[in-house]
Structures are given as structure tokens and as C-alpha cells.
Amino acid sequence: MAEESTNKRKLGDGETSSNRPSKKTAKHGSSGKKQWRTPQGTQTQHGAENHRIEAGDVGIFATCNMKQERKCIAELRDLFDEYAQQIYNIRDDEPAGDRDTPKDISAEIANELERIKSSKTDGLFTNIKLDVECVVFMKTREPVEPVSFVHQICKDAAVSHRKQNRFIKKLMPVTLFAKANEKGLDEISQKVLAPHFHREGAASKKFAIRPNFRNHTVMKRNDVIKRIAAAVGPGHAVDLKNYDLLILVEVYENVLGMSVVGADYDQLKRYNLAELYQPEGEDE
């Protein structure tokens, strides 16, 4: 009796051992379920791998209309796979002789699961989720070189005007990412700019710099431009319109990406596929 009386005194008014909230409920809310973050490597609502862009990564940004990220990603996969086969002669791992061979359903399912598993770890293109609307990012690996890869896609679009995609807008190649701070900017400038401006006996070039910022307020536009111009060094001149080379800078959250594109960048509608597919003087 003494033990029972002691237990009852610990309960609040109108509260019994059967209706008192459990420690789990009190700690995690009325549902009793702990709120977890999405685990690394799982699929998110836009079909993206939930990793972060990190220093040392390489890839391609793409823009799309609001709420169309998932469809844009699907189109990018198809478009990029097509050009990877066309440019780098990358083919399906499945032997040609097996493609028309009938298979039972269980074998097909097993092969498909294996293909999906392999594509997540070894694929040329891995979608990385971004905390910004209307922009998606595909991380790439060798042999894909983002600048020449995107340039070929846009050149073909400009010639054919044959609209292949509905949701992809602008493509933005990134040769390399670094941390978004002064040290990272200096390091990436040396690595990315050297092949274009610092080769022995290289001719003088006119250049321009175009930085773009997303979800970032630490580094300032003018400071970024000045440091990159200093990294280009003497012997080259700034020309904002009639440049030979254009230095593109994408600053997103805590990383900074850089690439160098050619003089036809503006002629190719700044790599905007939606505009390239549309013939001059013709409305959509």
C-alpha cells in the first residue's frame, strides 16, 4: 500500500498511469514519432540525391520554371545520356547480343535493381538537391568535361532549332568548385584560369567576368571580380562585350564554382536551350 500511495502522489491532478504521456511522446510530440532528417543518399521530393555540393566537385547547373524541377531532372538525364554516348562513345554495359534475348520477370527486376544501384554510385551524372527553387544541379565525373559538353549541346540546338526539351532552360557548366571564401577563390582561380591565360607564350586575350550568387551573402560581387581579374594577371585586357574568353562564377551557399567559356557564349543565348530552340523572330 505504501508503494502504491507513493506512485499515485507522483501523478498530476486527474492523471493516471494509463493516461500520463510517455517519455517518448513528451519528447517527440503528440505523434510519438521522432522527426528525422532525410538520410544521406536517399531520394528527395525532386528525385535528387540528398548530398551537398562540395569543394572539388564538377558539374552542370540547369534552370527551369517553378515546380518543374523533377521534370527538368528527368529531361537532363535523357539529354545528358544521349550526348555522353554521342561525344564519349559511352554505351550500355549490357552486351548487344543480350538485348533482344527474352528474360523472365524476376531476372528483369533483378537486373533493373542492379542497374539503379550501379547508376547511383558509378553514374556519369548524379543529381544533387539544392535549397533554391527553379535550379537543379548534376554532378559529373570523367570523361565528361562540363564546358565542352554543354557547348556541344547548345551548338546543336542553335543549328537545328528542333525543340527536344520542355522544361530545361539555361545550362551553366562548372569546371571546378571550391569553398566560397577568399582562399578558395584564389585557389580555384589558379587552377581554372591557368590553361587559358597562363600558358607559356599564350597570346593576349580580352576577357570578362560574370559572377552569380545564390543563397550567399558573405562574398561581395565587386570583391570577387577584382580578385579574379588579379588572378588573370598582366598581358590580358578586360572587354565586357567583345571578349575572347568569359569567366563564369557561380556562388551557391558555401561553395564557389568557376568555368571559362568561349566568345560565342552570348551568341548561343547564354546557353539557354529554351531560347536556342526558338528561331529568330518567332514567338513561342
Q: Is residue 166 part of a domain?
A: yes
For the chain, give the percent of residues with pLDDT over 70. 71
The whole-chain average pLDDT of the chain stands at: 82
Q: Is the distance from CB of 35 to CB of 126 less than 8 angstroms?
A: no
Amino acid letter for position 63: T
Q: How confident is the model at residue 228 (pLDDT cuts 50, 70, 90)?
A: very high
Q: Is residue 72 part of a domain?
A: yes
* Overall pTM surpassing 0.85 (yes/no): no
Q: Is residue 241 part of a domain?
A: yes
Q: Is residue 42 part of a domain?
A: no
pLDDT at 140 over 50: yes
Q: How far apart are CA 46 and CA 71, in angstroms?
A: 8
Q: Is residue 7 part of a domain?
A: no
Coarse DSSP helix, strand, coil percentages of the chain, rounded to the nearest 5 percent: 35, 20, 45
Q: Is residue 206 part of a domain?
A: yes
User: If you ran DSSP here, which 8-state letter would residue 198 be given?
Assistant: -
Amino acid letter for position 277: Y
pLDDT at 116: 57
Q: Is residue 18 part of a domain?
A: no
Query: What's the CATH code of the domain at 85?
Result: 3.30.2130.30
pLDDT at 63 over 50: yes
Q: Is residue 9 part of a domain?
A: no
pLDDT at 235 over 90: yes
pLDDT at 19 over 70: no
* Lowest-confidence pick of 18-22, 29-33, 72-76, 275-279: 29-33
Residue 195 lies in domain: 59-276
* Lowest-confidence pick of 38-52, 132-146, 251-265: 38-52
pLDDT at 177 over 70: yes
The average pLDDT across 110-136 equals: 77
Domain count, the chain: 1
